[in-house]
Amino acid sequence: MIGVRPVEPGDAEQWRALRSALWPYDDAAGDEIARFFAEPGRRGGLLPEAVFVAAAHDAPARLIGFAEVSRRAYAEGCDTSPVGFLEGWYVVPERRARGVGRALVEAAEAWARSLGCRELASDARAENEAGARAHRALGFEEVEVIRCFRKGLAAAP
């Protein structure tokens, strides 16, 4: 059995460790977590707007997953605005396929619904087949696969 709840300041270090497992090259995780807790009543427009964490009842002090959610004006394949957006979603490997991810996504859905969103969107890297399967298992439909590009620009003269 697991429990899902909003993240609390005391969860900061464990949340950071889980984020690092999902996004190992994110050097700003500590700053983003500090910013998230700095002004709890003013999260609109910041990413993420809400965070849910999962803890197993057999180890309530240990977090085993998280979901970060926000609202976006637009998301690929969606017809409404704003759209709830699952910015990040992670469950520790030894607890996968046991309902933890589903419980986190259900919390994200309820959060988005409470803010008037009629759709929830998400994304995953094109090569992340496990992530794609997990999304599909929870009722997400794949709507598009894209390649993203960037080009550095020299400073304006």
- pLDDT tier for residue 27 given thresholds of 50, 70 and 90: confident
Q: What is the pLDDT, as a whole number, of residue 60?
A: 64
- Could you give phi then psi for residue 50, rounded to 5 degrees? -145, 150
Please indicate, yes or no, if residue 142 is contained in any of the structural domains: no
Mean pLDDT of 106-116: 94
Please give the pLDDT value at position 93: 94
Model pTM score: 0.87
Q: Which pLDDT score, from 0 to 100, does residue 87 have?
A: 93
pLDDT band at 41 (very low <50, low <70, confident <90, very high): low
Q: What's the whole-number mean pLDDT along residues 107-123? A: 93
Task: Tell me, yes or no, whether 106 lies in a domain.
Answer: yes
- The CATH number covering residue 102 comes to 3.40.630.30
Q: Residue 55: inside a domain, yes or no?
A: yes
Is the residue at 147 inside a domain? no
In a domain, 143, yes or no: no
In a domain, 132, yes or no: yes
Q: Which two tokens stand for residue 68?
A: 């970060």
State the pLDDT confidence band at 52, using cuts at 50, 70 and 90: very high
pLDDT value at residue 46: 62
User: The tokens of 78 are what?
Assistant: 């969606």
Query: 43 near 49, Cβ under 8 Å?
Result: yes
- pLDDT, residue 44, reads 57
- Residue 151 inside a domain? The answer is no
Res. 125 pLDDT band, cuts 50 70 90? confident
What per-residue confidence (pLDDT) applies to 85?
93
Domain count, the chain: 1
Other CB atoms closer than 10 Å to residue 126's CB: what's the count?
11
DSSP 13-82: HHHHHHHHHH-TT-TTHHHHHHHHHH-TT--TTSS-SEEEEEEETTEEEEEEEEEEEEEES--TT--SSS
- Who has greater pLDDT, 32 or 54? 54
Domain that holds residue 74: 2-137
